[in-house]
Chains A and B, each alone.
Chain A
Amino acid sequence: MNSEFVNKWTSQVKKGTLTFIVLNILKGHEYYGYDLIEQVKKYTEIEIAEGTLYPLLNRLKKENLVTSKWVEQETGIPRKYYTLTNIGNNTLSEMKIYWKKMEESIKKIQK
């Protein structure tokens, strides 16, 4: 086995699916950054530099898929909460359809 190749491939797959994972987690829920990362870690084995999630969230915001708001806390350090927009919800539905097709094709292809 070429483990270097497998590692590179795995990291590409992880990078490619992170957006899909984040959108799925945000569906029907509101999360602030740290909490969202905890969720990603809970459901997947993705080991990413956690800081990279913030640029990703920013990009999703620019694409109008998520929206965010600062919520003041008693501690004096506010949290920035993220939610899916309507566009985000519809986009996710479309992505799910593609994912399903992909999953079926891969199942068929595997011997």
Chain B
Amino acid sequence: MKRIDFKNTSAQKIYNDYFKRIERCSTVLSKEDRTDLIMEFNSHIYEGLQKNTAKDELEGLLNILENLGMPEEVLKPLIADKKLRQATKTFNPKHVFQAIKLNIKNGIVFGVFGLLYLFLFSTIFLFIAKIVLPNNTGLFYSNNEFQSFGFVRDYKGYNEVLGIWFIPLVLISTIILYLTITLLLRIWRKK
């Protein structure tokens, strides 16, 4: 592929760097697709420079690259889609794994939040369990060794050490957990 030559050395550096980024984030593509992609971006930059209205080469290039967007962001759907096709076509576990990794990012985030919420419900459950079945719920020691925190079916030989303090402890944990999850969710949504 014919690369563009710039008179301005800074422009040349920025251009080279941009292509390095495209190359870096497109390694999952086949060689043919990758060359095609790079050629197309090269063509876009070249055509843009021909119609450049900025005062110099460097500014023109910077405008074009800014409008194009970051390769890491812009190429995400293309790469995820290509990988998924490759994976479903070949059954190769390597491709399948990469495709899942690329496509399921949102899935994982929701999965993590799901787990956190499950954890939250289990603390609420413990709070109720302590009222209904106080002997089975608490912080259990046996022979001065920590045995269990939460709900146990058989508490014989166990020594529950928290007593009624178990309730405020669980309640405070629930509130802290709830606030943390909501805050995390808010940060993630704003992103």
Contact = CB atoms under 8 A, between A and B. Distances in A.
Interface of A: 32-35, 37, 49-52, 54-55, 58-59, 62, 70, 75-80
Contact of A51 (B39, B74, B85): B74
Contacts of A76: 2
A52 B2 contact: no
B93 interface: no
B114 to A, nearest CB: 24
B25 to A, nearest CB: 12
Q: Range of interface residues on chain B?
A: 20 to 34
B87 to A, nearest CB: 15
Question: Binding site of B, secondary structure by majority: helix, strand, loop or mixed?
Answer: helix
A62 B48 CA distance: 26
Contacts of B39: 70, 78, 80
Given A50-B68, A51-B71, A77-B2, A33 B43 contact: yes
Question: Binding site of A, secondary structure by majority: helix, strand, loop or mixed?
Answer: helix
A96 to B, nearest CB: 25
A109 B41 CA distance: 43
Contacts of A58: 78, 81-82
Contact of B73 (A32, A35, A49, A54): A49
B77 interface: yes
B40 interface: yes
A67 B14 CA distance: 32
B47 A54 contact: no
B43 A49 contact: no
